[in-house]
Amino acid sequence: MTTARTSDLWWKSAIVYCLDVETFLDWDGDGTGDLIGLTERIDYLAGIGISCLWLMPFQPSPNRDDGYDITDYYGVDPRLGSLGDFVAMIRTAKDRGMRVIIDLVVNHTSDRHPWFRAARSSRTSPFRDWYVWSDDIPEEPKAEVVFPDAEDSIWAWDEKAGQYYLHHFYSHQPDLNIANPKVREELARIVGFWLELGVDGFRVDAVPFLLETGGIAGNVEIDPHDFLRDLRSFMARRRGDVMMLGEVNLPHKDLQLFFGGPDGDEVQLLFNFILMQSIYLSLARQDARPLAKALRETVRKTDDQQYANFLRNHDELTLDKLTDAQRQEVFDAFGPEPDMQLFGRGLRRRLPSMLDGDEQRIRMAYSLLFSLPGTPVLFYGEEIGMGENLAIEGRLSVRSPMQWTDEKNGGFSSAPPSRLRRPVVEGRFGPLAVNAAAQRRDPDSLLTWMERLIRRRRETPELAWGAWHVLESDVVGVFAHRCDWEGRSVVAVHNLGADPCIVRVELGDVPEGATLDDLLDERGALDEIDGAALELKLGGYGYRWFRIGAADQRTPP
Ligand code: GLC
């Protein structure tokens, strides 16, 4: 048994929890969450079994893209606290056994960053080449506008500079020029700074855009992947166990490049956007095949690579990699109103409301997420089943305040509701019905169930480390897969359909006389296996996890 290895490549079996400090807990009563508030809730997170926090940007920012537009990479926005509060928070998280990663948003700065102010002021400014300029709008690379509601080009004219500048995202987010060695040096310095303060890694924002320099007039030809490679080895020199989690929403065939190809020397973790989108198609159709196909296409080529799996994140639920017809199926099932949709490619809802509050179906979806090979990533509030607030504009609808209690402002803040950073959810998914305090005391709540699920997941390294296979079954709505690691095997079976069924799952190789240990059923029921197939009764949206083989003192209890 090599459980010891799992602490070495810790990100492979982490349970990641993403939160935004400003919407988590407001300690000083000014209407905005803060680092002291987060520190006060570290024990809550540790109690759920979270092993790694991912903090969305908390640096000084004019907040025109919710902090993804930074004006100082070496500070904390004063609304959220101080660097001192940050270090106290990290120290507390570590004491409770949690690692902390932060967003690294360096594809672009805010247009109010001193670097950009200097760059636009004159052609001879030492910062001019920190950004990407052009006299005309270049024909190549093809303009791929990320926010079509607000922008129609990735080039914007700057009166002061007398040139166009590149911005893949909003025009107030000018792209940094990573072909400039000075920029690369500065980015390493930023990374080094936060490592000294104790962070354990970075969620690297918008990686394909960050790396895109090719074809831009005036740029030195570099292999942009060298930049990621250099950053990885820089981090490894500073601290051996640092992890990068890349945001790369591309087809599987393109992902290997970002892991670093056969050498695996770039990012260690990549979000599995394709698997996520297939899950939604499978849920909408109640047909396991799209998910099975996506999992078959998910490959891991080196030992330290891992995928990060998620059902929701802080952005719109992007369905951009589905065909138009497939996307429409998901829209019809989970977000039929135009107001629920965004950019023609996504939904601005949270999972429980998309599943119409069906608790059995919600649990099945999370059981599926936690059983899939990869590192599960939760977005704050998912553990209690929060919904969105469609009254909040655009993607921000899912970034409403965390619901702690049934009191004023859901216990998030003591400020008058009109002063809150963002309004709380109202109605069916609002704090009166959905809050952490009530669920904490209820043995049958989603939160209590989720805690048990996370505990089980942490005790099941096969799922994080094992080789995976999709298993054949004879019911179209049933998804079954198996993970093998160190002579142990775990099988998970999920009924994506609303109807109960009797399903036959082909298990593959099974040792003679092996039994099945039910990992989720608290009674630990053992079933005999008949040959290499398993016949199971599943309720509508039913789910089971099994470990194959005789339970002995070597397997977790
Ligand atoms: C990423 C973030 C998104 C942000 C964008 C620009 O896609 O997830 O929230 O707006 O990058 O930084």
CA 205 to chain centre: 11
Q: What is the CA radius of gyration of the chain?
A: 24
d(C-alpha 333, C-alpha 498), whole Å: 14
| Catalytic (active site) residue 205 | yes
pLDDT at res. 287: 98
Q: Is the pLDDT of residue 97 over 70?
A: yes
Q: Whose CA is nearest to atom 4 of ligand 1?
A: 68
Note whether 168 and 143 are within 8 A (CB): no
pLDDT at res. 531: 76
> Nearest Cα to 22, choosing from 71, 60, 74, 73?
60
Gap from CA of 65 to ligand 1 centroid (Å): 8
Q: Whose CA is nearest to atom 9 of ligand 1?
A: 315
Cα 52–53–56 angle (5° rounding)?
145
Those residues with Cβ within 8 angstroms of residue 443's Cβ, 6 or more apart along the chain or in another chain: none
Note whether 184 and 192 are within 8 A (CB): no
Q: Ligand 1, closest atom to CA 395?
A: 9
Using one digit for the tens of pLDDT, what is the confidence trace for 293-345?
Answer: 999 999 998 888 999 999 999 999 999 999 999 999 999 999 999 999 999 99
Gap from CA of 394 to ligand 1 centroid (Å): 13
pLDDT at res. 303: 84
Residue of 34, 77, 200, 205 marked catalytic: 205
d(C-alpha 394, C-alpha 64), whole Å: 13
Gap from CA of 109 to ligand 1 centroid (Å): 12
Phi, psi of 33 (to 5 degrees): -60, 160
pTM greater than 0.85 (yes/no): yes
pLDDT at res. 511: 84
pLDDT-derived band at 220 (thresholds 50, 70, 90) equals low
For the Cβ of 315 lying below 6 angstroms from any atom of ligand 1, the answer is: yes
d(C-alpha 467, C-alpha 490), whole Å: 10
pLDDT-derived band at 115 (thresholds 50, 70, 90) equals very high
pLDDT at res. 312: 98
Phi, psi of 181 (to 5 degrees): -60, -30
Note whether 291 and 278 are within 8 A (CB): yes
The owner of tokens 């803060």 is 34
Q: Whose CA is nearest to atom 7 of ligand 1?
A: 206
Using one digit for the tens of pLDDT, what is the confidence trace for 314-325?
Answer: 999 999 999 999
Phi, psi of 526 (to 5 degrees): -105, 130
For the Cβ of 68 lying below 6 angstroms from any atom of ligand 1, the answer is: yes
For the Cβ of 169 lying below 6 angstroms from any atom of ligand 1, the answer is: yes
Residue of 77, 111, 151, 247 marked catalytic: 247
Using one digit for the tens of pLDDT, what is the confidence trace for 124-179?
Answer: 999 999 999 999 988 765 667 899 889 989 999 999 999 999 999 999 999 999 99
pLDDT-derived band at 552 (thresholds 50, 70, 90) equals low
Gap from CA of 56 to ligand 1 centroid (Å): 10
pLDDT-derived band at 289 (thresholds 50, 70, 90) equals very high
Q: Is the pLDDT of residue 217 over 50?
A: no
| Catalytic (active site) residue 26 | no
pLDDT at res. 286: 98
Using one digit for the tens of pLDDT, what is the confidence trace for 459-499?
Answer: 999 999 999 999 999 999 999 999 999 889 999 999 999 99
- What are the angstrom distances between the C-alpha of 249 and each of 166, 318, 362? 21, 9, 25
